[in-house]
Amino acid sequence: MPATVLVLVETINDYLPILERQGFHLILAPTPAERAQAIVTHGSRIDAVLTRGPLGLNADEIAALPALKIITVIGAGYEQVDLQAASDRGITVTNGAGVNASSVADHAMAMLLALVRDIARCDAAVRRGEWPKIMRPSLAGKRLGILGLGAVGMAIAKRAALGFDMQICYHSRQMRSDVPYAFCSTPTELARAADFLIVATPGGLGTQHLVTRTVLDALGPNGFIVNIARASVIATADLISALEQRRIAGAALDVFDHEPHVADALKALSNVLLTPHVAGLSPEATQGTVELVGKNLMAFFSGEPVLTPITLPPRLNDQRVH
């Protein structure tokens, strides 16, 4: 009997035949209502769940899926998946780290360029029949700070250094000996050393509010910040205050605290550029992520090691489902 996969992700329908050709039976539930109904109706026969970081899978949902054996996450982040509940049940969790790095890095650089060069305001002015001569900074030779030097951070650094002749510094949990970039021991030190700051860390408790007022003040009134990671990495109230008071020059955000809702204060600011969490969306990235999901599922149900396992916390009980 083929394994049944509950698909919670709303952006991958064109690529789901990849999984169907591998023999998986798919139940699509991209909205909250459909998700809840699918768990009630089909919960006893769902073997796998396909989700993404912000959508996650909580402890109550895991408990309602007695046949669940593996949770596969599109993209690198898995912050809303209850890893403890998965661990307690002996459920495997995988992610898609690195697969969409090129797409996210492209978007990060596009946002940085559009923000620093004020493309949106120039476009709006021309459409109104105006012809302003807006003087804006260049990227060449500037200092770019990258918060988080994983696959996405590395892809951003490569584009910035080789394409725009920028000087790269970074902060991450550990200093890397395999890169030529300058390491900063704290986010504040990184912001102080940078003209522009791009946030590229994973989400979750370990990175929550890494960027606060102290970091933003270190970035300074001529500094710009871009977030293509998770909204939780930046203290939103501190960011709004810094933008309103012009203690930083501007921000470009692809991620928000309560998506799809965006704070009205952010929408009202002229020094903010907003996109609807689309940095990782490209045909190439989406196909690659679904292919990786398929490889992980095929490996798991064939009794082989999965390709991209997430390390789970120690079990608090012994509720493994047999």
Q: Per DSSP, what are the bridge partners of residue 162?
A: none
Closest CA to 159 of 148, 147, 144, 174: 144
CB 218 within 8 A of CB 239: no
Pick the catalytic residue from 10, 20, 259, 304.
259
277 is catalytic: yes
Q: Residue 256 and residue 322: Cα distance in Å, rounded?
A: 39
Give the amino acid at 184: C
Joined together, the tokens standing for residue 10 give 């709303």
Q: Residue 29 and residue 119: Cα distance in Å, rounded?
A: 38
Radius of gyration over every alpha carbon of the chain, rounded to an integer in angstroms: 21
318: Cα separation from own chain's centroid: 32
How many helices (H) and strands (E) the chain has is answered by 13, 12
259 is catalytic: yes
Give the amino acid at 167: Q
What angle do helix axes 119-127 and 101-116 make, rounded to 10 degrees? 60
CB 68 within 8 A of CB 90: no
Taking phi over 0 as left and psi of -120 to 50 as alpha, with beta for the rest, 23 belongs to left
Q: Residue 39 and residue 144: Cα distance in Å, rounded?
A: 45
Joined together, the tokens standing for residue 322 give 């047999």
Q: Which residues are catalytic?
A: 230, 259, 277
